[in-house]
Structure 1
Amino acid sequence: MNIENYYNIDAQGQIVSFTREQASSFAKGIAGDFNPIHDEDHRRFCVPGDLLFSVFLAHYGVSQRMKFEFSGMVVDSTQLIFPAQLSSHMSLSDANEKNYMDIEVSGDNSKEAEFISMLSEKYVQFSSKTFPHILVPLMEQEKVMINPSRPLVIYKSMEITLDKLSGKQIELSLKEASLTNKGKKGEVRLEFAILSAGEEIGHGAKNLLLSGLREYDASQLDDVIATYTQRKSEFLAVA
């Protein structure tokens, strides 16, 4: 994955921005994420959170322990200020001090480009499988579902712990998935293992917020899945 193809950075290496084309191409071509809000022409377009994560790792390297908290939606007019130095607690904000992501890191840090690229790519590919592969069985189990006319799944946070900062043949494997039903809202937690050539070298978790939950209806949800699958097939047919 050539992450530099999916974002822009100024000559000083501190102002990062994204075009709609870059963000949409990353979502579909790298992450396999066909959420309509990443379409170039969508009214509520936003940059994928996984792209922010990948750019952060490319810029600052990978640390043994990392936590990312998302607090705002980045659009094509957003200009993120990347601090000159990595620190244990930092935020990505714009010139108006609007915050988009809070980060905590600790432990050793590595800038081994090949490992960072593999880890980023495998994480975003794993992350994109949330719908329908993981979310649908969870919703069926809890007898709830997202609003089919306006499905809203918000990327809240993710965390990674690594025992090793190098490796080959990186893969992510789901360990546990849970959905906590809170009436109209829900919280999803996905826990995963990070493997290198079959050996576990770390673990992590991704947390999502679901809004507009309603009573589970298999036929309505099947329509949502069919639409999503069709969008994916149409993209792959011309890719």
Structure 2
Amino acid sequence: MFLESYCHNKNNKISFTRQQASDFAKKIADDFNPLHDIDAKRFCVPGDLLFAIILERAGLSQNMTFKFSGMVNDNIFLNFPKSVEEKAHITDDNGKEYLSVEVSGKTTDSAETINALIKAYVEFSGHTFPHILVDLMAKEKVMINPARPMIMYESMSIHLESLAFKAVTLELANTTLSIDGKRGVADLIFNLVADSKVIGHGKKHMILSGLRPYEQETINEIVEIYNTKKADFYAKA
């Protein structure tokens, strides 16, 4: 499938180069989070890439919950399940867990259906910043630290009433941001739509750290840097 370009699979162990992970973030998810830059000091593989690999290998279930517990870098070899019976853990050879998944309901291994959901979800997820989070931060009068912007993907869940689709889109339904000191918890609730009908829903759950009082001028600078970086990438592509 199309994910072969974004990981290495040797002896059933999955690993990623910085270039592969960065290419997935930018080319597939349209995500320019600096954590996914190949020269980032705190580089990490996009959580959406881990999510996509699970679906590609183990199939898509009606109900799925993904919980991220560790940052994956380019020196880690992971053990991914080929199937999931209720719950599975993605670990390295030392037993350290980076991601867990819980499933229930019917399951499909249709490549067309799985690829449609992967591409729709990662495109939606990749546009979290600045499209959604800036409005949320403005509403709550807080913002991330411009010198060290930290937005961490903690969990995601989806519920599908039907698996009989070949194309699907995600539509934002609601957003919340709760603040506790310098820490924020953001939830993005979305609907899954196929053939103009809502066939499911889901939620992306994120942690924002190092929050400080909102400054419009600073936010404008952060967004401008982000958009310039994105434009430069596509200009060179």
State whether TM-score is above 0.5.
Answer: yes
Partners of 1:26 and 1:161 in 2: how far apart?
A: 25
Q: State the match for 2:163 in structure 1.
A: 165
Q: State the match for 1:4 in structure 2.
A: 4
Which stretch of the first structure deviates more once superposed, 162-171 or 225-234? Answer: 162-171
Match of 1:59, SS state, is helix
| Residue-pair matches, total | 237
Question: Considering only aligned residues, what root-mean-square deviation do their CA atoms show, in Å?
Answer: 1.1
Q: CA deviation at 1:19?
A: 1.0
Partners of 1:40 and 1:213 in 2: how far apart?
A: 26
TM-score normalised per structure 1 = 0.97
Select which of 87, 90, 109 maps to 2:88: 90
Residue ranges of structure 2 left out of the alignment (5+ in a row): none
Select which of 120, 132, 138 maps to 2:136: 138
Select which of 223, 235, 238 maps to 2:236: 238
Contact 1:168 1:197 in 2 (8 A): no
Residue ranges of structure 1 left out of the alignment (5+ in a row): none
Which stretch of the first structure deviates more once superposed, 52-61 or 168-177? Answer: 168-177
Partners of 1:237 and 1:213 in 2: how far apart?
A: 33
- Amino acid of the residue matched to residue 204 of structure 1? G
Match of 1:154, SS state, is strand
1:175-214 aligned within 5 A: 175-214=173-212
Match of 1:131, SS state, is helix
Q: State the match for 2:112 in structure 1.
A: 114
- Amino acid of the residue matched to residue 110 of structure 1? T
Partners of 2:157 and 2:180 in 1: how far apart?
A: 23
Cα deviations by residue, 1:29-74 (Å, 9 ceiling, x for unpaired) = 0000001111112111110000000011000010010000000001
Q: State the match for 2:24 in structure 1.
A: 26
Partners of 1:158 and 1:208 in 2: how far apart?
A: 9
Cα deviations by residue, 1:133-172 (Å, 9 ceiling, x for unpaired) = 1101110110000001100001000000011112133100
* Percent identity of paired positions between Structure 1 and Structure 2: 47
Partners of 1:102 and 1:141 in 2: how far apart?
A: 32
Which stretch of the first structure deviates more once superposed, 81-90 or 154-163? Answer: 81-90
Q: CA deviation at 1:83?
A: 3.2
Select which of 118, 142, 150 maps to 2:148: 150
